[in-house]
Amino acid sequence: MKSIEDYPQQSLRIAVAQAASVSGDIPENVRRAAAMIEEAARGDARLVVFPEKYLTGYVPEIIAADPERYALARGDERLEPIRQACREHGIAAIVGAPTREGGDLYISSIVIDPSGADLHVSHKAHLFHSEKEVFKSDDKRTLLKIGDWTIGLGICYDAGFPEHSRLLAQAGCHVYLVSSLFSKGMGYQESRVWFPARALDNTVYAVMANHAGKTGVWDACGGSAVWDPYGRLIVEASESEPEVIFAELEPGLLREARASEQMLADSAGLPQPEAIVAVLAGGDERP
């Protein structure tokens, strides 16, 4: 496990693909992803991240009806154009997709490295209530190394649970990177509270990749973005258009923020309460 005092020495340029997904059309979504990977590489990014379940769209009903067709397996040959794009341009990609392992379905991030190899599949830990009927959760945490940067992965609803990012930060991550689907209305509000808070709570860069336009029954709010370790917005995508945005992550700012804001350091070794005591207005106490 890395120390929270270990810092990268070089800056890291990343790309966020705010992508429009065609529901159920994996080949078309793969083709679009490969084109956005090329665009990210032309912008000198070393890593590009896509939204949650991008390769099928957010359509759990069709995935549940035909898992063999719509859920991807490890080494799935349908990903070959994405692998080829990563290999050709020397860039890593994190692609959201439903996956299957044995008889279980997961909401996952597939990590493909710059050589085009399938590096890892990371699963969503915290399922939204409607997802629990179809998918399984996974309490494992994923740390990804890009150069001397350590990146902690999350998927959408994970970001609403502060302990998810805190465990990754305590394990040494510098960036909390989350593939998401946030819709217009309360979804936008959640994203604008959760991600700046997770960034400042843990003095990490926070990255959110969202869908553009409609996906399944959801009307996504766009607004993919990157926040700095103080929780300040660095760059933000449009409300509705597919686009690739870029951010330069600076180790000096990470070091400065952690010297100034001590919440992460002070969280180490905190005792856990043995019981909760409710103190009533009349002065009585009850366990």
Could you give the residue numbers annotated as active site?
52, 124, 156
Look-up of token digits 């299957």: 100
53: phi > 0 → left, psi -120 to 50 → alpha, else beta; which?
left
Question: What gap in Å lies between CA 44 and CA 15, rounded to an integer?
Answer: 9
- HEC-encoded secondary structure of 120-145: EEEECCCCCHHHCCCCCCCCCCCEEE
- Using an 8 Å Cβ cutoff, are 54 and 220 in contact? no
- With 0-12 / 13-18 / 19 or more C-beta atoms within 10 angstroms meaning exposed / middle / buried, residue 76 is middle
3-state secondary structure of 202: helix
Name every residue whose Cβ is closer than 8 Å to that of residue 200 and which is 6 or more positions away in sequence. Answer: 229, 230, 231, 261, 263
Q: How far is CA 98 from the centre of its chain?
A: 14
Question: What gap in Å lies between CA 36 and CA 82, rounded to an integer?
Answer: 10
CA-wise closest residue to 192 among 203, 202, 58, 180: 180
DSSP 8-state secondary structure symbol assigned to residue 33 = H
